[in-house]
Chain A
Amino acid sequence: DVKVTQSSRYLVKRTGEKVFLECVQDMDHENMFWYRQDPGLGLRLIYFSYDVKMKEKGDIPEGYSVSREKKERFSLILESASTNQTSMYLCASRSGTGYNSPLHFGNGTRLTVT
């Protein structure tokens, strides 16, 4: 089974701090994603990466950046955390883009910015 591991289950940070959310997948997937999940808003794509050192903006990239130095690892960076970034963050990976290439999600990091 594919395993997507997010390094922290819960994080509490202060406004203005730089925050790193880490994600590792063990199935050599090319594509990795960061989503944000908020009640009533569903899953919204922040950034994705289709190869090492490659990245593209999703629907809500403002206030975030990403890093992918190794194929298995994809980091989400909040340059200066704000209270409106309090949310559940979900990392996902995918082996390709075809019909039989589902997204595999981690269990999420719940971030609270105070």
Chain B
Amino acid sequence: QQQVKQSPQSLIVQKGGISIINCAYENTAFDYFPWYQQFPGKGPALLIAIRPDVSEKKEGRFTISFNKSAKQFSLHIMDSQPGDSATYFCAASRIGSNYKLTFGKGTLLTVNP
């Protein structure tokens, strides 16, 4: 049972465009939703995270939108740049859970110059 479903699997965007990656979760006990960014040859690194008590969080060009009733959250990258080309993973867990950070399957984003 896949608890976090991520789409699309791959995404090609032109420089300056908006990249949107979507995730849906099943476990209503989840209360922490991070996004990780992974460049080729590197491990994933935390990009931005949100808790379900807010509907949106913005950090620079990156925004998480959260819809608790629909059990969905998404990452928006405004003014996408070639340097944003990477694999993006959404994840979900319960705060206080020692380990159970459940990841989506990842989205390979390519931003063309």
Contact = CB atoms under 8 A, between A and B. Distances in A.
Interface string B35-49: 010000111111001
B37 to A, nearest CB: 11
A4 interface: yes
- Interface class of chain A by DSSP: strand
B105 A42 contact: yes
Contact of B43 (A31, A41, A98, A108): A108
A63 interface: no
B51 interface: yes
Contact of A102 (B49, B89, B96, B106): B49
Interface in A42-89: 42-45, 48, 50, 56, 58
Interface residues of B, number: 25
A31 B36 CA distance: 18
A97 B43 contact: no
A19 interface: no
Interface string A86-114: 00001010000111001111111000000
B97 interface: yes
Contact of B103 (A42, A56, A98): A42
B103 A48 contact: no
Contact of B99 (A33, A43, A104): A33
Contacts of B99: 31, 33, 45, 48, 50, 56, 58
Interface of B: 6, 9, 32, 34, 36, 41-46, 49, 51, 89, 95-101, 103-106
